[in-house]
A and B are shown apart, each in its own frame.
Chain A
Amino acid sequence: MKNDLVLRVVGKLLIPFILLFALYVQFHGDFGPGGGFQAGVIFASGIIFYALIFGLANARKLMPDWLVESLLASGVLIYAGVGIAGLLLGGNYLDYFVLDSDPVHGQHRGIFWVEAGVAITVCGVMLKIFYMFASRANFDARTDD
């Protein structure tokens, strides 16, 4: 697939918009449909699309393994950290009202970080699973054909 001109051109055109759409879904999730899980999945599928067209090795240069693995863990840590921040500021675990002087603002801030944590973990996990499968299938040898 690497030498397919149409795929390469269309992929180069589309991938930035896929990634941008993922960010839109993430940050606009408060107002429209979407949220952390969807954003993470869309972002990961953008990267997977890139890996399918340009080969796994290039995608691994773009998102190296250590980055993917730390994404995977840091998402959960961010989520749990929001809960602990609530505890430290004198509320209950995962209580967002105390995160800002204005309770509603605190809620917004809490939801923002929680959604960010979900998106980061989901994106990391999806990419990691894909990398694992693809490297076992000896993906690059196949795409070079």
Chain B
Amino acid sequence: MALTVLALVRTRKLFAAVILSGVYSFLMATVMLTLDAVDVAMTEAAVGAGISTVLLLGALYLCKSEEAKPAHRPWLPLAVSVSTAAILIYGAMGLPDFADPKSPIHQNVVPRYMENEVDVPNVVTAVLASFRGYDTLGETTVVFTAGAGIIALLRRRKSKRDDNEK
């Protein structure tokens, strides 16, 4: 993964960058798989590596395939991202161990989820659709809004161009 990221940063060719980000998504999916989050791994592989790669390639045909030279030196953004990463890593060291049954997240609502009054064997589905039904309704609405926004943006431009041609 680190190799992929380094290559991704170094490359100036946008086509290579798109393919490399697809590779990165697949590697990320395997990481999710080893963390036993199969649902997330499936989503990552399908959306990150599949559909977003296709969409980026489609966008690439609309513009130049070579990245422009940066106008200024990258030191300030670099410093900001390195310090953020340092803070995050420092914070992550304070977290409980992976799969520690005594950690706080397993003490409060998880026992009730696990009791499974819904009687659906996949707890992820039960939590998403039943216990957190409102959240998922909101998510679906967000996805719908994204689609509606795309329609609104791209369709208007198309009709404008038609007007110009007339």
Q: Which residues of A are at the interface with B, using a C-beta cutoff of 8 A?
A: 25, 29-38, 41-42, 44-45, 48, 52, 69, 72-73, 75-76, 79-80, 83, 94, 96, 104, 107-108, 110-111, 114-115, 117-118, 121-122, 124-126, 128-130, 132-134, 136-137, 139, 142
Cβ 8 A contact of B118, one of A29, A94, A107: A107
Q: Is the CB of B43 within 8 A of A38?
A: yes
Looking at the assembled complex, report how far the CB atom of B130 sits from the nearest CB atom of chain A, in whole angstroms: 6
Q: Is the CB of A94 within 8 A of B143?
A: no
Looking at the assembled complex, report how far the CB atom of B85 sits from the nearest CB atom of chain A, in whole angstroms: 29
Known: A33-B124, A118-B136. A132 touches B154 (CB 8 A): yes
Cβ 8 A contact of B133, one of A36, A94, A108, A129: A94
Which residues of B in the span 125-140 have a Cβ within 8 Å of any Cβ on A? 125-126, 128-130, 133-134, 136-137, 139-140
Chain A residues near B38 (CB-CB < 8 A): 33
Q: Is the CB of B122 within 8 A of A52?
A: no
Q: Is the CB of B122 within 8 A of A31?
A: yes
Cβ 8 A contact of A104, one of B118, B129, B154: B118
Q: Is the CB of B62 within 8 A of A110?
A: no
Q: Chain B: which residue is nearest A48 at the CB level?
A: B54
Looking at the assembled complex, report how far the CB atom of A70 sits from the nearest CB atom of chain B, in whole angstroms: 12
Interface of B, secondary structure class, is helix
Q: Is the CB of B124 within 8 A of A79?
A: no
Q: Is the CB of A104 within 8 A of B119?
A: yes
Query: Interface size (B, Cβ < 8 Å)?
Result: 43
Bitwise interface map of B from 147 to 162 toward A, beta carbon under 8 Å scored 1, else 0: 1101100110010000
Bitwise interface map of B from 41 to 52 toward A, beta carbon under 8 Å scored 1, else 0: 011001100110
Known: A94-B137, A130-B51. A111 touches B58 (CB 8 A): no
Which of B50, B54, B61, B129 has the largest count of A CB atoms less than 10 A from its CB? B129
Known: A35-B39, A108-B120. A75 touches B144 (CB 8 A): yes
